[in-house]
């Protein structure tokens, strides 16, 4: 069965049991395009709590998990639904935008949904074991330039994933070919961190908040640099940015939501207003910090511009690194 047709059939079945027609802020539903656990689940649970605590909704938001096709099934679902579901929002991340740039969502593009709000972000990080001989990011870059095959980098995800992209950008900044770097793919960040502590890899191209939580839980790690434009607050305030350390790399990992294309302007405006007020509330900002996310608040047209600009940058990287896109 052709891939787009299969997605359409799955999408129709998925939404057959979806939320009943209601006002946009009644009987609300958040769709996580993955299995329970992980970033999409975190995003949905964060807004579930934030919207209810702030009384922007009156009943708890229902959570639904719709894994498949690295987010493609959920994306196709909201596009093909008829009639539109104005009370259902879908979580996305920077990884979703990278997948769109690589055409991993079939025939669908970034123009096919209504981008609603970004609620926070994480950033890429370059991490080593506590006893690593690499004391700075410059040490890692010198070693990679001398012989990239002798520096084992690892993270969750395969070639073309966010973590691979971060490693490839580091190799390029060091003056080495990304095609020559030694990258070990793991099922997730936790497995990669265990490999780092065990000496099976030398560098972890992971996420700042994820790594900080592991350190606070007892992992013997050091963050050499964060891939943000400015230093991060709190416990990471003393960690230099990659740019400060000699690599002009910025890699935000946005967390946000979109709506289906058939949602009316009036319903979209109601959702936008609710998210704008929630994001501005001190209560939500505390909830976001407790979950390890850094401030980022974009709603409506601001997010739409950000998404399109970010995907354009990702497409350029895909071309530069010679990654095969899905036709």
Q: What is the pTM of this model?
A: 0.85
Same domain, 271 and 285: yes
Domain shared by 74 and 152, yes or no: no
Residues 191 and 257 in one domain: no
Taking only the tens place, the pLDDT of each residue in 28-46 is 999 999 888 778 999 999 9
pLDDT at position 136, please? 97
Of the residues 191, 210, 236, which one is the last residue of a structural domain?
236
Identify the CATH number of the domain in which residue 214 sits.
Answer: 3.40.190.10
Would you call the peptide bond into 83 cis, given omega within 30 degrees of 0 as the criterion? yes
Among 76-85, 128-137, 231-240, the least confident range: 76-85
pLDDT for 75 beyond 90: yes
207 and 135 housed in the same domain: yes
CATH of the domain at 97: 3.40.190.150
Residue 245 lies in a domain: no
Q: What is the pLDDT of residues 86-133, one digit of tens each?
A: 999 999 999 999 999 999 999 999 999 999 999 999 999 999 999 999
Confidence grade of residue 188 (pLDDT, cut at 50, 70, 90):
confident
| 314 and 261 inside one domain | yes
Do 144 and 52 share a structural domain? Answer: no
Q: At which residue do the structure tokens 């995907």 appear?
A: 311
**Mean pLDDT on 12-18:** 43
Identify whether the C-beta of residue 51 lies closer than 8 Å to the C-beta of residue 57: yes
Which pairs from 187-191 meet CB under 8 Å and 24+ separation?
Answer: 187/156, 188/156, 189/155, 189/156, 189/163, 190/214, 191/156
Which of 90-104, 205-219, 284-298 comes out lowest in average pLDDT?
205-219
Number of domains composing the chain: 2
Residue at 241 is within a domain: no
Identify the pLDDT of residue 21: 46
Specify whether 85 is located in the same domain as 117. Answer: yes
pLDDT at 144 over 80: yes
β-pairing, 203-207 vs 152-156, is parallel
For residues 121 and 252, is the Cβ–Cβ distance under 8 A?
yes
Instruction: Return the closest-CA partner of residue 121 out of 317, 239, 288, 306.
Output: 288
Do 137 and 117 lie in one domain? The reply is no
User: Which residues, at least 6 apart from 8, have a Cβ–Cβ distance to it below 8 Å?
Assistant: 76, 80
**Same-domain check for residues 114 and 131:** no
**Using 50, 70 and 90 to split pLDDT, how confident is the model at 326?**
low
Q: Domain range spanning residue 128?
A: 122-236
Is the residue at 207 inside a domain?
yes
pLDDT recorded at residue 38: 78
Q: What is the pLDDT of residue 15?
A: 45
């Amino acid at each position: 069965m052709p891939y787009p047709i299969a997605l359409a059939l799955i999408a129709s079945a998925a939404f057959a049991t979806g939320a009943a027609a209601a006002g946009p802020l009644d009987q609300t539903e958040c769709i996580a395009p993955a299995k329970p656990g992980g970033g999409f689940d975190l995003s949905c649970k964060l807004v579930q709590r934030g919207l209810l605590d702030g009384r922007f909704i009156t009943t708890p938001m229902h959570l639904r998990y719709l894994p498949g096709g690295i987010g493609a099934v959920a994306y196709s679902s909201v596009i093909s639904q008829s009639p539109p579901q104005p009370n259902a929002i879908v979580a996305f991340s920077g990884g979703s935008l990278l997948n769109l740039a690589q055409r991993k969502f079939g025939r669908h593009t970034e123009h096919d949904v209504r981008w609603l709000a970004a609620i926070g972000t994480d950033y890429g990080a370059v991490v080593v074991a506590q006893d690593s001989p690499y004391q700075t990011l410059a040490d890692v870059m010198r070693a990679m330039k001398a012989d990239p095959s002798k520096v084992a980098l690892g993270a969750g995800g395969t070639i073309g994933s966010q973590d691979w992209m971060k490693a490839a950008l580091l190799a390029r900044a060091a003056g080495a070919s990304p095609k020559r770097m030694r990258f070990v793919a793991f099922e997730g960040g936790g497995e990669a961190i265990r490999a780092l502590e065990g000496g099976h890899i030398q560098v972890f191209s992971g996420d700042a908040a994820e790594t900080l939580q592991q350190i606070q839980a007892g992992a013997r790690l050091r963050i050499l640099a964060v891939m943000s434009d400015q230093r991060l607050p709190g416990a990471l305030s003393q960690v230099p940015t990659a740019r400060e350390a000699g690599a002009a790399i910025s890699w935000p990992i946005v967390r946000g939501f979109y709506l289906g294309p058939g949602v009316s302007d009036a319903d979209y405006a109601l959702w936008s207003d609710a998210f704008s007020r929630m994001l501005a509330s001190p209560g939500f900002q505390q909830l976001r910090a407790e979950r390890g996310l850094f401030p980022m608040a974009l709603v409506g047209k601001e997010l739409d511009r950000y998404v399109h600009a970010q995907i354009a940058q990702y497409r350029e990287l895909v071309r530069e690194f010679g990654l095969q896109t899905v036709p």
